[in-house]
Amino acid sequence: MAEKYIARSTEIAARMLGGEMMIMSAQDSTFFTLNEVATVIWQAADGCTPLSEIVRGKICQEFEVDAEQAQRGAERFVDELSQHGILLVSERPLIDSSDPEIS
């Protein structure tokens, strides 16, 4: 399967509140609240780290989950957010990605 590179869109507003990451699409106003695992993926979405490496290096390390299961969950999460334009996905590194304001 082809590798995936993910980057945060600049067309979003995001904020961490009470330990949860809230993300709102500035395009269609869709609102997401991310759990801890999703937040780790979101924060690691720098456009140049492969998704599989994020899963292996962060998710499996921090949450002690099976790599295959974690990869499937991460793929689903990435697909959902990419459908709303919140995450940008590519088979090549997204070198032009830039950080949205996260506080």
Partner 1 sequence: MSVMPTAVAAESVSVEIGGIGLALHVQDSSFRRMVENRYSGFVASSQAPQCEFDIELYDAGEPVPADDQLEVKLEAGEWLLRRGDFRARWNPRTMRGHIRQSCNPYAIDSVLRIVHSLILAQRGGFLVHAASVIRGGKAFIFSGVSGAGKTTISRLAPADAAFLSDEVSYVRRDGNQYFACGTPFAGELARAGENQCAPLSDLFFLEKGPRNSIEPIAPTDAIQRLMRNILFFANDPELVKLVFQFACEFASVVPMHRLVFVPDERVWDIIC
Q: Which residues bind partner 1 (CB under 8 A)?
A: 11-13, 15, 17-18, 20, 22, 24, 26-27, 29, 31, 33, 101
Query: Which residue number, 26 or 44, has a Cβ lying nearer to partner 1?
Result: 26
SS3 102: strand
Residue type, 4: K
Q: How far is the CB of 20 from partner 1 (least distance, A)?
A: 5
Least separation in angstroms between CB 81 and partner 1: 16
Based on CB atoms, which residue is closest to partner 1, 10 or 69?
10
Residues near 49 by Cβ (< 8 Å), separated by ≥ 6?
A: 5
Give phi and psi for 67, each to the nearest 5.
-60, -40
Phi and psi (nearest 5°) for 97? -65, 145
Choose between 20 and 53: whose C-beta lies nearer to partner 1.
20
> Can you tell me which residue has the tokens 């993926």?
41
Q: How far is the CB of 28 from partner 1 (least distance, A)?
A: 9
